[in-house]
């Protein structure tokens, strides 16, 4: 006899609870973060200064970097204040076409937004690095395309 009281949401509720359990398991390494004020660390002036240095790497002579550097302390303090007050808003992306060697549409963040990106990454990257799959190679320190190819070749040699 069929269950006339079956509710279609029962599956969704059970599935949601299962996913929540998985998420809680994956986030265990982050529990120590509960004892730290991560936003305070993101907004810290020394973190913003480090983020600025990372954002300008290989771009030291670009006009937008030089312009930001002219009033570096004031620019970083303004960013810090906007972040603390939650009034920071990213600027629109600059879009342009690059033809080298193929034609691509590129969207670039404003330099100050890149400083904020680096400031966030400085703080959250160590937490995420702990839970990433070992064989994940994209956008990770010490990894990348060449390392991924080497790893693939290792697996390939084991098979053949």
The pLDDT value given to residue 23: 52
Instruction: Please provide the distance, in angstroms rounded to a whole number, between the alpha carbons at the two ends of the chain.
Output: 54
pLDDT per position in the chain (160 positions), as tens?
444 554 444 444 444 555 555 555 555 555 555 557 899 999 999 999 999 999 999 999 999 999 999 999 999 999 999 999 999 999 999 999 999 889 999 999 999 999 999 999 999 988 888 888 888 888 888 898 999 999 999 999 999 8
**How many residues does this entry show for the chain?**
160
Look up the pTM and report it. Answer: 0.69
The residues, any chain, with a CB within 8 Å of residue 135's CB and separated by 6 or more, are 151
Check residue 44 and give its pLDDT. 96
Query: What was the pLDDT predicted at 26?
Result: 55
Which residues have C-beta within 8 Å of that of residue 84, sequence separation ≥ 6?
A: 43
């Amino acid at each position: 006899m069929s269950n006339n009281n079956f509710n279609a949401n029962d599956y969704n509720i059970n599935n949601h609870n299962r996913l929540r359990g998985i998420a809680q398991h994956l986030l265990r390494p982050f529990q120590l973060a509960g004892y730290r004020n991560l936003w305070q660390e993101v907004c810290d002036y020394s973190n913003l200064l480090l983020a600025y240095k990372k954002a300008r790497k290989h771009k030291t002579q670009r006009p937008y970097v030089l312009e930001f550097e002219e009033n570096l302390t004031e620019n970083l303090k303004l960013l810090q204040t906007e972040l603390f007050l939650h009034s920071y808003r990213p600027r629109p992306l600059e879009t342009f076409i690059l033809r080298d060697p193929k034609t691509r549409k590129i969207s670039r963040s404003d330099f100050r937004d890149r400083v904020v990106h680096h400031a966030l990454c400085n703080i959250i990257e160590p937490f995420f690095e702990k839970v990433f799959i070992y064989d994940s190679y994209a956008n990770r320190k010490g990894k990348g395309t060449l390392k991924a190819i080497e790893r693939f070749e290792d697996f390939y040699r084991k098979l053949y």
